[in-house]
Amino acid sequence: MASPAVLTSPALLTGRDRLIKAVAILLTGGMWGAVIAGDPLFLRLLTAATITFALWACITWRRSVGIFASLGVLIVLALLRRILIPYAGWQSFDPLVLVGPAVVFLLVAQLFVLERRRLGGDRLSNLVLLLLAIELVQSANPRGGGIFAGLGGLLFVGVPLLWFFVGREAMTRDLIRRLTAMFVLAGTGVALYGLAQTQIGFLSWDSQWIDVAGYSSIRVGDSIRAFGTFSSNAEYALFIGSAAAMCVALTVEGRTWAIACLPVLLVALFFSSIRSATITALLACVLILALVPRRPALAVALVLVGIVVAFGAVRVVSSGLQTSSNDLVSRQVGGLSDPLNPENSTLLLHVDLVIEGMKLGFRDPIGLGTGSTNQAGSKLSGGKGKGLPTEIDISNAFVGLGLLGGLTYLALVISIFTTTIRQHFAGRPDMLPVVAVLVVGLGQWLTGGHYALSPITWLLIGFVAAGSGPLRRYPT
Rounded to two decimals, the pTM is 0.87
Whether residue 71 is found in the same domain as residue 171? no
Give the pLDDT confidence score for residue 100 in this predicted structure.
93
Among residues 469, 470, 460, the alpha carbon closest in space to that of 183 is found at 460
User: What is the domain extent for residue 111?
Assistant: 12-117
> Once rounded to an integer, what is the mean pLDDT over residues 428-455?
91
Give the pLDDT confidence score for residue 35 in this predicted structure.
54
Give the pLDDT confidence score for residue 339 in this predicted structure.
58
Residue 157 lies in a domain: yes
For 224, the enclosing helix (H) or strand (E) is: strand 223-224
Residue 475 lies in a domain: no
Identify the DSSP state of 373: T
Helix boundaries (H) for 200-232: 204-213
Whether residue 380 is found in the same domain as residue 453? yes
Lowest-pLDDT choice from 170-174, 391-395, 431-435, 462-466? 391-395
Residue 197 CA to chain centroid, in angstroms?
21
Does position 459 have pLDDT exceeding 80, yes or no?
A: yes
Give the pLDDT confidence score for residue 8 in this predicted structure.
37
**Looking at per-residue confidence, does 145 or 46 come out higher?**
46
Single residue among 84, 117, 150 that ends a domain in this structure:
117
User: pLDDT tens digit string along 151-163?
Assistant: 888 888 999 999 9
User: pLDDT tens digit string along 181-239?
Assistant: 999 999 999 999 999 998 898 998 998 888 887 666 677 666 788 899 998 898 999 99
Whether residue 51 is found in the same domain as residue 157? no
Give the pLDDT confidence score for residue 422 in this predicted structure.
92
Using 50, 70 and 90 to split pLDDT, how confident is the model at 10? Answer: very low
The backbone region for 235, taken as left when phi is positive above 0, alpha when psi lies in -120 to 50, beta otherwise, is alpha
Whether residue 374 is found in the same domain as residue 392? yes
Whether residue 80 is found in the same domain as residue 151? no
DSSP string of 268-299, one letter each residue? HHHHTT-HHHHHHHHHHHHHHHHHTT--HHHH
The rounded percent of the chain whose pLDDT value lies above 70 is 77
Does position 9 have pLDDT exceeding 50, yes or no?
A: no
Give the pLDDT confidence score for residue 348 in this predicted structure.
62
Whole-number Å distance between alpha carbons of 55 and 71 = 10
234 class by beta-carbon count within 10 Å (0-12 exposed, 13-18 middle, 19+ buried): buried
Whether residue 258 is found in the same domain as residue 368? yes
Whole-number Å distance between alpha carbons of 357 and 402 = 10
Q: How far is CA 264 from CA 185, 275, 318, 456, in A?
A: 11, 17, 19, 22
Give the pLDDT confidence score for residue 32 in this predicted structure.
55
Using 50, 70 and 90 to split pLDDT, how confident is the model at 473? Answer: low
Whether residue 206 is found in the same domain as residue 282? yes
Phi and psi at residue 93, in whole multiples of 5°?
-105, 70
Most confident of 68-82, 140-154, 304-318: 68-82
Whether residue 174 is found in the same domain as residue 195? yes
Does position 145 have pLDDT exceeding 80, yes or no?
A: no
Residue 375 lies in a domain: yes
Contacts of residue 420, Cβ cutoff 8 Å, sequence gap at least 6? 431, 434, 435, 438, 464
Whether residue 191 is found in the same domain as residue 255? yes
> Once rounded to an integer, what is the mean pLDDT over residues 170-177?
93
> Once rounded to an integer, what is the mean pLDDT over residues 258-277?
90
Residue 81 lies in a domain: yes
The rounded percent of the chain whose pLDDT value lies above 90 is 42
Give the pLDDT confidence score for residue 22 in this predicted structure.
64
**Looking at per-residue confidence, does 441 or 469 come out higher?**
441
Most confident of 17-21, 130-134, 198-202, 272-276: 130-134
Single residue among 117, 138, 169 that ends a domain in this structure:
117
> Once rounded to an integer, what is the mean pLDDT over residues 34-61?
78
**Looking at per-residue confidence, does 457 or 139 come out higher?**
457
Average pLDDT across the chain, whole number = 82
Residue 7 lies in a domain: no
Whether residue 108 is found in the same domain as residue 220? no
Question: How many structural domains comprise the chain?
Answer: 2
User: pLDDT tens digit string along 74-84?
Assistant: 999 999 999 98
Single residue among 117, 138, 171 that ends a domain in this structure:
117
Residue 96 lies in a domain: yes
Whether residue 206 is found in the same domain as residue 98? no
Residue 208 lies in a domain: yes
Give the pLDDT confidence score for residue 370 in this predicted structure.
84
Whether residue 233 is found in the same domain as residue 152? yes
Give the pLDDT confidence score for residue 1 in this predicted structure.
38
Whole-number Å distance between alpha carbons of 252 and 213 = 42
Residue 473 lies in a domain: no
Give the pLDDT confidence score for residue 353 in this predicted structure.
76
Using 50, 70 and 90 to split pLDDT, how confident is the model at 12? Answer: very low
